Amino acid sequence: MSLTRRLLRLVTIAVLTPVIFLLGCQSQMIYHPRGYGAAPLEMLQKAGGVELTFSTSQGSQTAYYIPPWDKQNREPTAIWICFGGNGSLALDWLHYTEHWDSGNAYLLVDYPGYGKCAGSPNPKRIQENITAATQALTTHLGAKDIAQLRPRLRVMGHSLGAAAALIAADELQIDHAILISPFTSLTDMGNKVLIWPLGYLNLHRYDNRPLIKKLANSGAQITLFHGTDDELIPPSMSQALADIDPQHVKIHLVERAEHNDIIYLAAGAIRAAMPSDRLKVP
C-alpha cells in the first residue's frame, strides 16, 4: 500500500470514528434516565397526588396528577403540565408546586425510560407520552374530552423540558407557556458542546424556534426565564427565541442563576408569571 493510500486511510478512520461514536451513543449523551427512590413517592402521597398509568408504543407509562394544595377547593383554576430537564424526574417539580398558587393543579410527565416509565426517549415517543398522559388526566377528572380541559391547560418546562412543553402546547393547542432555560435547537447545542459541524449528526431534532413562531402567531403568551450565569445553555439562546416575536414572547434574565438552580432562585418570579385568574370549571 502506497504512503498516500495509507495516509488517506488514516484520515478516513480519524474522521469516521467520532461520527460513528456520536451516531451510536448520542441517546446516552442526551438523556440521563433514573428511577424513583422512596422520598419523592412519599411526597406525592403527602400532596394527595395520583399516579396515572397508561400505555404507549414503549409499554407501560406513569405520570402524576397533583391536585390543588388548597384543601378547601380541589377544583383547579389552572392545570400546569410540567416537564423536567434531561436528568430530572417528573416528581422533582413537587419541591416547587406547594409554593405556587394553591389553586393550581399539575400534571407531571416523565419521559420513556424515566421514573416508572418503560422504553427509551426520543421526540416522537415523548409526544406519545404527552398525548396519552393528557388523555389519562381527562379520564381521571371525568371530563368529556381534552377540549373541555383546554381553557385551564398551561405548560411549563426546564431545559429539555422546554422543548417538550412546546411540543405539548402545539399538540394540545395550549395558549400559555413558561419556558425555563430553553435552547434554540438541540443541533445548536451539539455544535456548541462538540466541534462544529458534529452537531448536525443529531438525530433528536428538537427545534424550539418554529414552534415558538407558530404558537406566537396563534396568539399564545410565552414567558422565558434564563439565568445570566447558565453554564450549559447560554442566555443568548433565550434571547434569540424572544426576538422571534417580542409581542408574545417575554424574557426574564435571572441574575446569578445557573442552569440547575434557576427554578429555585426564580420561584417567586415564575409564580408571578402564572395566570392567577380564577377560571370557572367547564
pLDDT of residue 196: 54
**Could you report the per-residue pLDDT of 34-61, keeping only the tens digit for each?**
999 999 999 999 999 999 999 999 999 9
Residue 11, burial from CB neighbour count under 10 angstroms (0-12, 13-18, 19+)? exposed
- Sequential DSSP letters for 72-131: T--S-SEEEEEE--TT--GGGGHHHHTTS-TTEEEEEEPPTTSTT--S---HHHHHHHHH
CATH for the 34-273 domain, from 3.40.50.300, 3.30.1330.40, 3.40.50.1820, 3.30.70.141: 3.40.50.1820
Q: How far is the CA of 42 from the CAs of 45, 69, 142, in angstroms?
A: 5, 16, 26
Q: Determine which of 48-62, 194-208, 243-257 has the lowest per-residue pLDDT on average.
A: 194-208
Q: At what angle do helices 160-172 and 123-140 cross, to 10 degrees?
A: 60
User: Per-domain residue ranges for the chain?
Assistant: 1-30, 34-273
Q: How far is the CA of 199 from the CAs of 121, 175, 204, in angstroms?
A: 19, 31, 11
**Could you report the per-residue pLDDT of 66-120, keeping only the tens digit for each?**
999 877 777 888 999 999 999 999 999 999 998 898 899 999 999 999 999 999 9
| Structure-block grid coordinates of residue 198 | 458534529
- Is residue 110 within 8 Å of residue 129, measured between CB atoms? yes
| Bigger pLDDT: 13 vs 162 | 162
CA angle 241, 31, 161 (to 5 degrees): 35
Residue 17 has pLDDT above 60, yes or no: no
Report the share of the chain in percent with pLDDT over 90. 73
**Could you report the per-residue pLDDT of 145-161, keeping only the tens digit for each?**
999 999 999 999 999 99
- What is the C-alpha separation between 118 and 222, in angstroms, rounded? 31
| Structure-block grid coordinates of residue 10 | 488514516
Mean pLDDT of the chain: 88
Phi-psi region of 181 (alpha: psi -120 to 50; beta: other; left: phi over 0): left
- pTM equals 0.88
Beta-carbon contacts of residue 176 (< 8 Å; ≥ 6 apart): 154, 155, 220, 221, 222, 275
- Which residues lie across from 64 on neighbouring strands? 51, 108
DSSP code of residue 87 = T
